[in-house]
Amino acid sequence: MSNVQIAALLMSVSAVIFSCGAMHVQHIARGKAPAEPAPLAPAPVALIEPLPAQRDDDGWYWHPGLPDFEEDHRAYAAWMLEQGLEYRFDSLEDERDDHPAAIAYYEQNACHVRDWYCEPPAGEGWFTLSIHDSESGPQWVWVRRVGTEALMAAVQAEALAYHERYYVKLLPNGQRYSGSTFKNNGEPILLRADGKRSVFCDLCDDLEGA
């Protein structure tokens, strides 16, 4: 390409850039800033679906749609709430002492629960989320979808009843738990005597997350 052709190409590019800049200035001069791109809509939540529990050779099971939270209980609770899942669980330690699975696990130090079977809770829609080991022994977790709003209402009511039962007479300086304002995890907000959010409400969150 000759020097003349290169110069012509550069002049063409400069003209395009100048034209775009002039249009931008005209928009601003008229009080019309260039339209911003529309924000992306949040991705829909991928809801976990009921599946038959395909237990492994040792009797354990982990639903393929259940993330591994690595013992992050807050993340687990947030995921359950987002999924709108009500849960119940059975524990092997609650079985009778002569249960074959209890004998194998607790007395023979076996690493399996092949002989452990549980019936789902009363009602419709329950399915197995996991059969896993924990600090308190093997647990069988059942879930069913009730919806996030219904689940949050139940969580809020349960948390409020708990706090009113155990803390309402112990709070200093006229503090109280709100009956209508809640944290993202369903816990009621701690209020000062004047009705404003107490600093101790957030302090408790910091201590729990430490």
Kindly report, residue by residue over 169-191, the tens digit of the pLDDT. Answer: 566 777 777 766 777 666 777 78
The 10s digit of each residue's pLDDT in 123-156 is: 999 999 999 999 889 999 999 998 888 887 877 7
Instruction: Specify the pTM.
Output: 0.61
Q: Give the chain's count of helices (H) and strands (E).
A: 5, 6
The answer to whether 201 and 177 have CB atoms below 8 angstroms apart is no
Q: How far apart are CA 95 and CA 112, in angstroms?
A: 15
Between the alpha carbon of residue 25 and those of residues 16, 20, 58, the distances in Å are 14, 9, 71
